Structure 1
Amino acid sequence: MKVLGLILAGGRSEALGKLVHKRASAALPVFGKYRAIDFTLSNMVNSGIYKVGVLTQYNPRSLMDHLGSGKEWDLDRKHGGLYILQPYLGMTGEYWYRGTADAIFQNTTMLRRGDEDYVLIGSGDHIYKMTYNNLFSYHFEKGADITLIVKELDDTYDIRQYGVVVTDADGRILEFYEKVENPPTRKAFLGVYFINKYLLLDLLYDTVPSGKYDLLLDVVVPNLSRLRVYAYEFKGYWRNVKKGILEYYRINMDVLKKEVREELFLKNGKVYTKLKDYPPAKFTGTAKVSNSLVSDGCIVSGVVKNSVLFRGVVVRAGARVENSIVMQDTVIEEGAYVKNAIIDKNCVIRAEQSLIGDFEPVVLEKWMVV
């Protein structure tokens, strides 16, 4: 069985504010040296999917720089490989993607020319780890037309921000509720579709030309009674960085938990990312580090507690960093105090300055000096 992978990575989330002023949400840095898209892309490669199209739109430069030719994911191939699918101005008027269905519809040439029979569609904003082989088996066992991945969300999620499904005893989806105030279940859709390629083409040609552009709400949901749409339940760790600053902060803090690190990085294959030639982290005699993730290239001479330091961060003597996310090549100078903060790349916190967040983490944009 050959499967084409499609990753929806063109979105911008207003809830992420300054963090997405210059990048797509799928390009957000996470866990010291990764980007959000690395997880869905690695999941596909670990499942034997070696032809992947990434649909970009908003601020794609940093995302394209990160993906390159796909070499780190073994996708720099003669047959298959990595395809960056950007919107373009064509003879028939195609230009800006008007929704998820329209984005795929404008790239149907890729579907028609390939020899794949099935399409796996995922999101570049989601942090989770799985191989899709059990999903494929489930799809065929149920005789499904479309299979969606769902998860029973606990109380750490605001269920009103998610679409939820109602299923029968066999797992067939009967109803779908999109971000309602009092949803009937907590079984949320995780943004992953598995579908026969020819069925997908038929559905797209039936809906997009008539002005319906959303893959879920305009293509899948109206056909719940006509098609066999099943829910495959995922039980592992899953988070969506697009849900906002607090969610992004929570995701990075979660990596400090042993069980989360083991699931994301030790199970179901590796997580691949773009390599950079930084030296190992250096800790001087004045450094005090506890419960923190310190990436390669960092030089720590101060106090770091419950924090995530990305590549090349410098924390000088007398500086203190607590409960914070500090991105690549940022410098925390002598005596500075940083707490409950998200500091983007290449920032400088001057000597003796303080940067402290209250109810929400304070966010510093790229190249800022405080």
Structure 2
Amino acid sequence: MADPFPNDPEGRTVALVLAGGRGSRLAPLTDARSKPATPLAGQYRLIDVVLSNLVHSGLEDVWIVEQYRPFTLNQHLAGGRPWDLDGTRHGLRLLPPAQGRTEEGFAEGNGHALAQQVPLLREFGADTVVVLSADHLYQLDLRPVLEGHRASGAELTMVTTVTDEDPSRFGVVQVDDDGAVTGYDYKPEDPEGSLVATEIFVFDVDVLEDVVQELVAREEGRPEDDEETDDDGDPVASSLGDYGETIIPAFVERGSVREHRLEGYWRDIGTLDAFHRAHREILDGTGLRLDSPGWPLLTNPRPAPPARIEQTARISGSLVGAGTHVAGEVEDSVLGPGVVVEEGARVRNSILFGDVTVPSGALLDTVIADVGAVIPEGETVGSTESAEDIVVLVPDVTDPDADDETTGQGVHHD
């Protein structure tokens, strides 16, 4: 087939963001949007974190693999312009499911989604691909990661960190004194240590292609030189499932995997509890820095006037976004655009995404309110004694791919 990409020697490294998962652990916030489009810290979206890290690291070719409810995400991405990724030869590229070849279509797991892009990476001329997820909070300059990867000659470099959470939720990594990865266990029942993979992987594209073909042939029970292929000669890779169960262990078995240790803050926010906790950490200064000098969190901002704070308002330990109107009490909370807290209303330990009115007499405690959620007048929602339970208020959505059209109300307890 004809080469659809420019023959550009600068396009040797591609950042591939896997943003197509359903995000069921973050439901109901992801029932009507893709997880990367979920609001964060008042004015951002989850996808902003990975995109900001990439552009600050000087990576110009950023591909977004999409599948589940991409419409709201695409509205926010705006062709990459907010991150200066709207170039002609380089920049942001959206990779939705497609028909026409067997390796395309809907992915059955992120390992399959990664394998689907290998032919495109080859056509583009990439020799290195950085694979990242879109549901983690961190700040990382990827330039030293890439430099170390090339200098070491590794087939795969994985970014690791020591977690303060249950390591059995992640891929647990063992390394030697020289930084070589000697073991990898995906979500083990009895984890060996607390060093985990952050789901930031730097692959050699040639080796990735070989490993995918070997795994597919092994799954099909056929010799590697007799593997089933589609009309274009590409292997069928739907059997790969999650890359933590297939592709990463196969690389570790080959014996040429190294780690790059992330020493700073890192948080997986794939669950409601982790999502709420991450916001508490942002508020108390121990979490993701939104004002890091030289490393700002970039976004596609919603046009809104300055926040209006009335004389009756009492606000402490909170983030108050543009377009908010506060006349009541707000404590240890995050208010997104268009939130109204009326006089006599109280909000504690809560996250209000946007376009929410807290009526006089209402009390919200440990609540996540989605865009357009309806707050009962004069009622207490959430716990006033314990922060263990998170109440999620979501609207009934008439347009399943829009954040701003609602007809009713739903409640979810975590």
TM superposition score normalised by structure 1? 0.93
Match of 1:104 among 99, 111, 114: 114
Where do 1:1-16 residues align within 5 Å? 2-16=12-26
User: 2:350 — aligned with what?
Assistant: 324
Once structures 1 and 2 are overlaid, which stretch shifts more, 288-297 or 214-223?
214-223
Secondary structure of the equivalent of 2:157?
strand
Q: Is 1:230 the counterpart of 2:258 in the alignment?
A: yes
Query: Quick check: 1:182 aligned with 2:190?
Result: yes
- The CA deviation at 1:267 is 4.4
Give the residue type in structure 1 aligned to 2:133: S
- Could you say which residue in structure 2 is the equivalent of 1:360? 389
Name the SS for the 2:253 alignment partner: coil
1:172 deviation in Å?
Answer: 0.8
- Superposed, which structure 2 residues align to 1:73-152 within 5 Å? 73-92=83-102, 94-152=104-162
Aligned mates of 1:225, 1:116 — CA distance in 2: 24
Query: 1:215 Cα shift?
Result: 2.5
Q: Which residue of 2 aligns with 1:216?
A: 244
Residue in 2 that maps onto 1:260: 287
- Name 1:28's counterpart in structure 2: 38
1:78-108: per-residue Cα shift (whole Å, max 9, x none)? 1111111111222547421012232133233
| Range 43-52 or range 192-201, more displaced | 192-201
In 2, Cα distance between equivalents of 1:163 and 1:134: 22
Distance 1:220 1:162, change over 3 A: closer
Q: Which has the larger Rg?
A: 2
2:287 alignment partner, SS class: helix
The one-letter code matched in structure 1 to 2:174 is: V
1:52 Cα offset (Å): 0.8
Tell me the SS of whatever aligns to 1:272.
Answer: coil
Query: Mind listing any 5+ residue stretches in structure 1 that lack a counterpart?
Result: none
1:172 corresponds, among 163, 169, 180, to 180
Cα distance in 2, alignment partners of residues 181 and 201 from structure 1: 31
Q: Post-superposition shift, 1:32? A: 0.5
Q: Which amino acid aligns with 1:224?
A: V
Q: Which moved more, 1:357-366 or 1:169-178?
A: 357-366
| Contact 1:151/1:234 (8 A) holds in 2 | yes
Q: SS at the partner of 2:245? A: helix
1:264 Cα deviation after fit: 4.4
Q: Calculate percent identity across the aligned residue pairs.
A: 32
Q: Do the aligned partners of 2:372 and 2:394 also contact (CA within 8 Å) in 1?
A: no
Which of 303, 320, 328 is the matching residue for 1:294? 320
- Report the RMSD for the aligned CA atoms in angstroms: 1.9
- Candidates 329, 339, 343, aligned match of 1:313: 339
The CA distance in 2 between the partners of 1:301 and 1:369, in whole Å, is 24
Unaligned runs of 5+ in 2: 1-9, 217-235, 396-405
Q: Matches of 1:301 and 1:186 in 2, distance apart?
A: 45
Deviations 1:4-40 (A, max 9, x none): 0100111123322211111122221110011111111
User: Using the alignment, how far apart are the partners of 2:323 and 2:23 within structure 1?
Assistant: 30
Letter in 2 for 1:146: L
- Whether 1:247 aligns to 2:270 is no
**TM-score, with structure 2 as normaliser:** 0.84
Supply the distance in 1 between the matched residues of 2:152 and 2:104 (Cα, whole angstroms): 37
Give the letter for the 2:276 counterpart: Y
CA contact (8 A) 1:355 1:362 kept: yes
Q: CA deviation at 1:348?
A: 2.5
**Pair 1:345-2:371 in alignment:** yes
Q: Secondary structure at the match of 2:196?
A: strand
SS of the residue 1:160 aligns to: helix
> Structure 1 residues 187, 91: closer, same or farther in 2, change over 3 A?
closer
8 Å Cα contact 1:148/1:193 also seen in 2: yes
The answer to whether the 8 A contact 2:44-2:301 is kept is no
Task: Kindly indicate whether the alpha-carbon contact (under 8 Å) linking 2:18 and 2:134 is maintained by their aligned counterparts in 1.
Answer: yes
